[in-house]
């Protein structure tokens, strides 16, 4: 598991491939979408809906990996493959990691 919030190499590759300006816009889209995905994940856990839970975790994993948020991606992956969790603790851990990722991405897109 990566120690950094955002893997610098992955992020640099993304910027190089798609252009820094476009990545800035993409981060904006991620900020709009991610809270909704996290909310869907929580709702699925409450409703014990395994399908919706897996799908939401899958989406978070996919976007996290795109930006190089490898730890967030790994956490989401464990939820996707592990299925429904009994208590909300893993979701809170995921939420906290997302906040760190969001802060780091905000910093990166400013720079």
Partner 1 sequence: MAESGSRLLVADDNKVNRLLLGRSLEQLGHRVAMAENGRVALEMLRREAFDLLLLDMEMPEMDGFQVLEQMVADAHLRDLPVIVTSSLEGVAHVARCIELGADDYLPKPVNPVLLKARISSSLEKKRLRDQQQALVKRFATSEVAQDLQQSGFALGGKRLVATVMFSDIRGFTSIVEQQSPEETIELLNTWYTLMFDAISGRGGVVNQMIGDGLMALFGAPLPLADGPRSAVLAALDMIEMMQLLNVEREAGGKPALRIGVGIATGEVIAGYTGTQHRATYTCIGDTVNLAARMEAHTKLAGQPILIDQATCDALAGSLNLVSLGPVAFKGKAAEVPVHAVPAPTC
Binding residues vs partner 1 (CB under 8 A): 14, 17-19, 22, 25-26, 29-30, 32-33, 55, 58-59, 61-63, 65-66, 81
Contact 63, 41 (CB under 8 A): no
Could you tell me the smallest distance in angstroms from the CB atom of residue 88 to partner 1?
A: 23
Could you tell me the smallest distance in angstroms from the CB atom of residue 8 to partner 1?
A: 15
**For residue 106, what are its two tokens?**
């905000």
Q: Would you tell me how many other CB atoms lie within 10 Å of the CB of residue 101?
A: 23
Residue with token string 């795109």: 66
Q: What's the rounded Cα separation, in Å, for the pair 109 and 56?
A: 25
Q: Pick the closer one to partner 1 by CB: 28 or 107.
A: 28
Could you tell me the smallest distance in angstroms from the CB atom of residue 92 to partner 1?
A: 23
């Amino acid at each position: 598991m990566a120690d950094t919030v955002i893997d610098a190499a992955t992020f640099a590759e993304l910027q190089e491939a798609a252009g820094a300006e476009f990545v800035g816009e993409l981060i904006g889209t991620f900020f709009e979408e991610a809270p909704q995905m996290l909310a869907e994940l929580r709702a699925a856990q409450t409703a014990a809906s395994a399908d919706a839970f897996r799908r939401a975790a899958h989406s978070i994993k996919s976007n996290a990996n795109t930006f190089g948020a490898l730890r967030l991606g790994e956490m989401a992956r464990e939820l996707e493959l592990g299925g429904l969790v009994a208590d909300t603790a893993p979701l809170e851990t995921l939420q906290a990691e997302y906040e760190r990722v969001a802060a780091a991405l905000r910093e990166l897109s400013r720079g």
